[in-house]
Structure 1
Amino acid sequence: MKHFPIFMAVEGRRIVLSGGGDAALAKLRLLLKTEARLTVVAQNAAPEIHAWAAEGVLTLIPRAMEPGDAMCARLFYAANEDEAEDARVASLAHADGALVNIVDNLGDSQFITPAIVDRDPVTVAIGTEGAAPVLARAIKKDLEEKLPPTLGLLARVGKAFRTRVEALPFGVKRRDFWSDYYFKAGPAVTGEAEAQTALEDLLGQHLAAPEKEGRVDLVGAGPGDPELLTLKARKALDTADVIIYDRLVAPEILELARREATLLSAGKEGFGPSVTQDAINEMIVSHARGGAYVVRLKSGDPTVFGRLDEEIEACEASGVAWRIIPGITSASAAVAILGQSLTKRGRNSGVRFITGHDTKGFADHDWRALAQPGEVAAIYMGKKSARFLQGRLLMHGADPATPVTVIENASRPTQQILSTTLAELEPALQNAGFDGPALTFLGLAPRAALAAAEDFEQKEAAS
């Protein structure tokens, strides 16, 4: 992000514009929406600018710009449609200490003016850093159609009512009140008096309402790609009061949480420092008991190696309502990346989801069954236990040439695929140097076309 978006206070402050033609008019139509003191410096100003000056909505200085004209100005626009003159007046404005925008000259401007959707006091600013003005206008048009014309009225009346709402406890109860106003009671009003009445009635209802009971959603965040979130998971992130997330949840997914939500890390790492499960259970229950809507966000699907039952039992023991919102488990995402299926007629009629380690260390399994030809297994948390898994399988008769594929950071931009054999698994994995979450497939290799593409990409990167 090369331009940081802010909303600048300009009420009563000077904004100066140099220019009197079409470019100047376009900027002034926007600037006239503000409560700034506007000054236009132009030797040949358009009739509209003269009319605005006569009405007293701006000050017109009918000459070329001179030193000091931009003194004490918050913002300055160079809109002369002449490269040399714009450079000259911009230099003068810089000397006067103003922030300078040169129309249609992104490189020499200190700030840019975004496309704006105006529902005063609700303002939506859309910027593309000059890369795609057409796209910004399309987004503006879409938002204009979606945001009701009464939104500004609702916001103005609501702002004046904020001190009254302090009668409600800070946090969830106030947020619920404003949510009901803006999205339920408010949109039906047609005028200021009706909006005021709606607020009074709504406040009375919320003050009389019994304490809200908290609840918990145990949500699958999927393998990492935000586009693989379910619609129900996305809605949960939009409305949660508290989000307790695992270490493997992608930062891009946490960005989808609403800004007012409390985000708490419950990081767990195999063979490393972790938040204990008891501590996680306590976090979930204590926030829910306080009336919060808690989202327990787990990477992949919460029902697959997510210690889900322990958290459900903690909720039930405390009388906290809960539900499960499933996610796409890593095995489903990773096998799709390989261009394979987990089951295939004539190859395997079943698939095993196993873990490389559990709370006691390396996990034991039915190695003899896994070692049979044609068996397919998706091994979670198998990276650090690769040597153990390899040894057990070979000891029980597995073919050393059995294909094995390890996928790191499946579905994320940083994903990597290692295609090897059971005999070479441990040294190949060591050489690959994977340091992210990885899933291992026993009995599956990438389709030939995908493997060839991967080799080509690696060669291109090396050269």
Structure 2
Amino acid sequence: MDIFPISLKLQQQPCLIVGGGAIAYRKAVLLAKAGAIIHVVAPAIEAKLLQLVHSTQGQYLQAPFSLDMPLRHYRLVIAATNDKMVNIQVFECCEAENILVNSVDDLPHCRFMVPAIVDRSPLVLSIASNGTSPVLSRQIRTQLESIIPHGMGKLAEFSGKWRAAVKVKIVNPDERRIFWEDLYASPLKEQVFNDNMAEADRLIEQALMQWQKPKGEVYLVGAGPGDPELLTLKALRLMQQADVVIYDRLVSPAILELCRRDADKVYVGKARSNHSVPQEGINALLVEYAGKGKRVCRLKGGDPFIFGRGGEEIQELFAAGVTFQVVPGITAASGCAAYAGIPLTHRDYAQSVRFLTGHLKEGSPELPWQELVYPNQTLVLYMGLVGLEKICAQLIAHGQRSDMPVALISKGTTPEQKVVVGTLADIADKVTQHHIQAPTLTIIGEVVSLRDQLQWQG
């Protein structure tokens, strides 16, 4: 994060604009909306800007900017002249006094940026791009304008009116947050939007009287194969409301970033021969946090029920009497195959697909080899990178032809995706040649030959 977003309270605070033209006026309008007292220094000033200055009880000084001009009593300064050297002088003077300063359209000489704003006062949203793309920020603002009801401002005012009473009734801040989240999901919101404030007051009074300490709950959420845009809407919603997020090593940083920022995040990643927390420990953590009344998101790469041990976890939750939800995710097989341009089934090449785990037991993979050597079938191996050479040898030994196409998809659906194609005879050698690392998915079958035609990612 290159910039730190803050919201300044500028009511009755003196702010200086250097410049008297159209750009200065646009900035002054925003400051006036925030309740600032606007002062302007410029050799000339547009009439509408002068009127705005007077309406805020500010002053206009008809003069060019001077290096000895006292600045220390201003909360912030905006340099909005058409002379770059003057703007730089303003910046340097403000820096010497540790005053927040913005030089319009001159990023190196800005200590703060003015964002694109969605105004639903007292609810205000700001969108900033660190000055790199103001047009993009405005486009995003337009999108938000269309989806955020204007009634959100009234809802924020209503919440402020009741905030103290709710705080007295519900002392625990985590429980208080849950109360508000439940309230905003109730019919009360529409009553506020429609100005039925008496009914809204009745509903919140009723909710406070009926309030009980929330019980813990676990959300078993499939995070998909890596691309955050492949998350389901329900997954994202539950990730945003969880108090605790317990995640594994297959959850990408971009997806973890979408979880509620102030949630406790607990890493329980498991790699081959290196289990940060054993499965029994993970099960115990879920029960423990839920027992404390927490909403727990168990975030798992791919889909929880496909080689994710999700079934074992909810068995433990069921036995402990813990409420749970299961949110399926896009499993690595379908996600990685799609991003590699390899259809898992195809009318001419494969009428069935089989998912397998390539885990080794006592140094060798244990798979039903005879069933796997079958025409028009696609095999997908999870976690099969370490035993790949033995798997290929066994398939050939049981009758599969050695030139059967094979694809390795490393870190599929992410910007680091790498795809290597070979055959049963040579694919194991290509692991070292191409520096393939886990997590890697292996696809075996004629459908791999379609990649040259159908690939649309790396």
Give unpaired runs (5+ residues) of structure 2: none
The CA deviation at 1:281 is: 0.9
* TM-score, normalised relative to structure 1: 0.87
The CA deviation at 1:419 is: 0.8
Q: Alpha carbon RMSD of aligned pairs, Å? A: 3.0
- How many aligned residue pairs are there? 454
User: 2:23 matched to which residue of 1?
Assistant: 23
Are residues 350 and 50 of structure 1, via their aligned partners in 2, closer, same or farther at CA, if it must alter by over 3 Å? Answer: closer
Alpha-carbon deviations, 1:141-181, whole Å to 9, x = none?
A: 34334334443343244335433323214255312321244
1:143-182 pair list within 5 angstroms: 143-166=144-167, 167-182=169-184
More divergent stretch after superposition (439-448 vs 398-407): 439-448
The CA deviation at 1:424 is: 1.7
User: 1:460 matched to which residue of 2?
Assistant: none
**Structure-2 separation of matches of 1:343 and 1:96:** 68
Are residues 442 and 147 of structure 1, via their aligned partners in 2, closer, same or farther at CA, if it must alter by over 3 Å? Answer: closer
CA contact (8 A) 1:3 1:129 kept: yes
Paired residue for 1:218, among 217, 220, 233?
A: 220
CA contact (8 A) 1:172 1:291 kept: no
User: 1:34 matched to which residue of 2?
Assistant: 34
**Structure-1 separation of matches of 2:200 and 2:413:** 47
Alpha-carbon deviations, 1:76-120, whole Å to 9, x = none?
A: 211222334334444444444433322233343333211112233
The CA deviation at 1:358 is: 5.9
Give unpaired runs (5+ residues) of structure 1: 458-463
More divergent stretch after superposition (32-41 vs 203-212): 203-212
The CA deviation at 1:420 is: 1.4
**Structure-2 separation of matches of 1:410 and 1:4:** 33
**Structure-2 separation of matches of 1:309 and 1:365:** 21
Are residues 268 and 245 of structure 1, via their aligned partners in 2, closer, same or farther at CA, if it must alter by over 3 Å? Answer: same
- Aligned-partner residue type, residue 17 of structure 1: I
**Structure-1 separation of matches of 2:283 and 2:397:** 40
User: What secondary structure is seen at the aligned counterpart in 1 of 2:266?
Assistant: strand
User: 2:443 matched to which residue of 1?
Assistant: 441
User: 1:266 matched to which residue of 2?
Assistant: 268
For the pair 1:59 / 2:62, whether they are aligned, the reply is: no
CA contact (8 A) 2:155 2:193 kept: no
User: 2:408 matched to which residue of 1?
Assistant: 406
1:5-24 pair list within 5 angstroms: 5-11=5-11, 13-24=13-24
User: 2:75 matched to which residue of 1?
Assistant: 74
- Aligned-partner residue type, residue 61 of structure 1: L
**Structure-1 separation of matches of 2:96 and 2:107:** 20
**Structure-1 separation of matches of 2:106 and 2:30:** 18
More divergent stretch after superposition (247-256 vs 148-157): 148-157
Paired residue for 1:364, among 340, 359, 366?
A: 366
Are residues 15 and 387 of structure 1, via their aligned partners in 2, closer, same or farther at CA, if it must alter by over 3 Å? Answer: same
Are residues 25 and 288 of structure 1, via their aligned partners in 2, closer, same or farther at CA, if it must alter by over 3 Å? Answer: same
User: What secondary structure is seen at the aligned counterpart in 1 of 2:325?
Assistant: strand
For the pair 1:301 / 2:300, whether they are aligned, the reply is: no
User: 1:461 matched to which residue of 2?
Assistant: none
User: 1:277 matched to which residue of 2?
Assistant: 279
User: What secondary structure is seen at the aligned counterpart in 2 of 1:434?
Assistant: coil
**Structure-2 separation of matches of 1:221 and 1:291:** 24
Are residues 297 and 191 of structure 1, via their aligned partners in 2, closer, same or farther at CA, if it must alter by over 3 Å? Answer: closer
- Aligned-partner residue type, residue 73 of structure 1: Y
More divergent stretch after superposition (443-452 vs 239-248): 443-452
**Structure-1 separation of matches of 2:345 and 2:56:** 77
More divergent stretch after superposition (69-78 vs 305-314): 69-78
User: What secondary structure is seen at the aligned counterpart in 1 of 2:178?
Assistant: helix
- Aligned-partner residue type, residue 301 of structure 2: S
Are residues 359 and 28 of structure 1, via their aligned partners in 2, closer, same or farther at CA, if it must alter by over 3 Å? Answer: farther
Paired residue for 1:202, among 201, 204, 208?
A: 204
1:302-451 pair list within 5 angstroms: 302-345=304-347, 347-357=349-359, 362-371=364-373, 374-444=376-446, 445-447=448-450, 449-450=452-453
**Structure-1 separation of matches of 2:174 and 2:108:** 45
Are residues 58 and 268 of structure 1, via their aligned partners in 2, closer, same or farther at CA, if it must alter by over 3 Å? Answer: same
**Structure-2 separation of matches of 1:360 and 1:234:** 40
CA contact (8 A) 2:341 2:450 kept: yes
**Structure-1 separation of matches of 2:205 and 2:269:** 40
CA contact (8 A) 1:352 1:377 kept: yes
- Aligned-partner residue type, residue 136 of structure 2: L
- Aligned-partner residue type, residue 189 of structure 1: V
CA contact (8 A) 1:223 1:411 kept: yes
* TM-score, normalised relative to structure 2: 0.88
**Structure-2 separation of matches of 1:162 and 1:383:** 55
CA contact (8 A) 1:338 1:446 kept: no
CA contact (8 A) 1:12 1:35 kept: yes
CA contact (8 A) 2:365 2:391 kept: no
More divergent stretch after superposition (90-99 vs 278-287): 90-99
More divergent stretch after superposition (415-424 vs 174-183): 174-183
**Structure-1 separation of matches of 2:142 and 2:57:** 28
- Aligned-partner residue type, residue 58 of structure 1: G
User: What secondary structure is seen at the aligned counterpart in 2 of 1:45?
Assistant: coil
More divergent stretch after superposition (303-312 vs 199-208): 199-208
Are residues 255 and 361 of structure 1, via their aligned partners in 2, closer, same or farther at CA, if it must alter by over 3 Å? Answer: farther
The CA deviation at 1:245 is: 1.8
Are residues 214 and 203 of structure 1, via their aligned partners in 2, closer, same or farther at CA, if it must alter by over 3 Å? Answer: farther
**Structure-1 separation of matches of 2:304 and 2:205:** 38
- Aligned-partner residue type, residue 411 of structure 1: T
- Aligned-partner residue type, residue 16 of structure 2: V
Alpha-carbon deviations, 1:187-239, whole Å to 9, x = none?
A: 423799937x8457525533433443333332221111122222332332233
Are residues 274 and 55 of structure 1, via their aligned partners in 2, closer, same or farther at CA, if it must alter by over 3 Å? Answer: closer
